[in-house]
Structure 1
Amino acid sequence: MELWEALAILVAGMGAGAINAVVGSGTLFTFPVLLALGYPPVTATISNSIGLAPGSLSSAIGYRRELRGQRRRVLRFGAMSLLGAVTGGTLLINLPSEVFERVVPVLIGFACVLIIAQPRIAAWARSRRAATRPDGGPLLPIGVYSAGVYAGYFAAAQGIILLSMLGTALDESIQRINALKNALAFVVNATAALFYIVFADPAWAAVGLIAGGSVLGGYAGASLGRRLRPGVLRAVVVVVGLVAVVQLVVQF
């Protein structure tokens, strides 16, 4: 690996960690960079998932004050996130790579649509909050499990999916919901990372660079996220995601 390639992965990891802390679509930064540097798609997503796990932890720690009083939710929904991540990881390892190559452009496109629609989703969630239950009702754990399956297979925009579900179902402030989202994303990423370390063959140099960058970016994103202009951030992520879609379609 040349120096400029290492720097590109490190910077992408920092950006991904910061964005994951605030919204949750950092994979759309790191995954296209790994593809552009010649990593096969499955190897790229495995290495990306392992590398982003430490950044998810730093994001959750950065929101530790907002997590106070949510221990029961973290345990309840964390168990569903863990099961979902194992299910998604199993699918990624056992399905043919051709399935992943065909499905991922659709998943990235879906992630981009979610990012564009996020303000409307948030407004709808706020309008629904008055009629919600303290723990979200019986369907929320199923939704969290499904989000874990999605993220265990391909992690892009899992944070936005979790934010939309949790924001709709829970009567909480957006900061406390974001804190819970970060905790659940850490459970998913850490579970997927352990699964891939045991059963897959990651590119360890890329893993280390993404991990280092995501830790720095995750903590900074948790500290400074409230000051970011969401419109600009959303536009950058969508552009990167669309570039990834075009690259995958052309490549395959």
Structure 2
Amino acid sequence: MTLQEALALVAIGGVAGFINVLSAGGSMLTLPLLMFLGLSPQVANGTNRVSIVLQSVAAVGSFLRAGASHVQLSLLLSLPAVAGSLLGAWLALSVSDALFEAVLIAVMAGSAVLMLLPQPRLETRPLTRERLTPLIYLAMFGIGLYGGFIQVGVGILFIVVLYRMLKIDLAQVNVFKVLIILVYTLPALLMFMAFDQVRWGYGLLLALGSMAGAWVGVKVNMGPRGAAWVKWLTLVVIVAILLRLLLS
């Protein structure tokens, strides 16, 4: 690994951590970057989990210090997501590199389109345990399955379930999202480690940047205006990466 590659990992990790806390799409930057640096799609997919886990730790810690208090409900939602994540990671380890690359391109293109759709203005209310229906738990299993497989754009699914279905305000969606992602990504990372699909040097450099980006993202999320402009930054980068993937 060259110095330039190490700096790129830290820098892109920082942008991805910031985006992941406030919106969705950080892995659309980091996963292709790891592949551009020479890692196979399977190894890149496993290595990316190191950054996701550590940035989630940083974000959860910052949210808790800022006064967030949704740990119990987040853990309840995490249980089906963990089961889905293990299945998703196993499926990811079973597919060919060519198929994984095709799925990555399709997912990135689809996520970019979904991010362009306007969010409806809903009347939101606090989440209580009584509102967690079997359909919500099934949806969380699906999110875990998807996250365990590829993770890219998983924040969009959280917006669908938590904002559109449960009508939680978007700032609180981000709090639930990072804690649930932390819980379900840990077992997925362990599975990738068991199959020797993690390169720690790359993953830790990426995590160094993403933890700093997540910390900044928490400060913006807890502020009065949030960061709606983040999705436009994400979309510009996604288009550039998609072109690079298609040309290669």
User: With structure 1 as the length reference, what TM-score do the two structures score?
Assistant: 0.87
Aligned: 1:173 with 2:169: yes
Between the aligned partners of 1:224 and 1:3, the Cα distance in structure 2 is 31
Instruction: After superposing the two structures, state which structure 1 stretch, 30-39 or 13-22, moved more.
Output: 30-39
Between the aligned partners of 1:110 and 1:66, the Cα distance in structure 2 is 35
| Corresponding residue for residue 162 of structure 1 | 158
Q: Judging by fraction of residues, say which structure has more helix.
A: 1
| Corresponding residue for residue 241 of structure 2 | 244
Between the aligned partners of 1:13 and 1:47, the Cα distance in structure 2 is 12
| Corresponding residue for residue 52 of structure 1 | 52
- Sequence identity (%): 24
Instruction: After superposing the two structures, state which structure 1 stretch, 140-149 or 57-66, moved more.
Output: 57-66
Q: Which 5+ residue runs of structure 1 have no aligned equivalent?
A: none
CA contact (8 A) 2:143 2:157 kept: yes
Aligned: 1:38 with 2:35: no
Structure 2 CA distance for partners of 1:229 and 1:219, relative to 1, 3 Å: closer
Which of residues 217, 228, 231 is equivalent to 1:230?
228
Between the aligned partners of 1:163 and 1:129, the Cα distance in structure 2 is 15
Per the TM alignment, residue 95 of structure 1 is displaced from its structure 2 partner at its CA by: 1.8
Amino acid at match of 2:214: G
User: Secondary structure of the residue that 1:31 maps to in structure 2?
Assistant: helix
| Corresponding residue for residue 204 of structure 1 | 200
Between the aligned partners of 2:14 and 2:173, the Cα distance in structure 1 is 23
What per-residue deviation string (whole Å, max 9, x for no partner) do you get for residues 6-44 of structure 1?
000111111111111111321122123223323222222
CA contact (8 A) 1:134 1:170 kept: no
Question: How many residues in Structure 1 have an aligned counterpart in Structure 2?
Answer: 244
Structure 2 CA distance for partners of 1:87 and 1:206, relative to 1, 3 Å: same
User: With structure 2 as the length reference, what TM-score do the two structures score?
Assistant: 0.88
Amino acid at match of 1:198: A
Between the aligned partners of 2:141 and 2:13, the Cα distance in structure 1 is 26
Between the aligned partners of 2:217 and 2:123, the Cα distance in structure 1 is 27
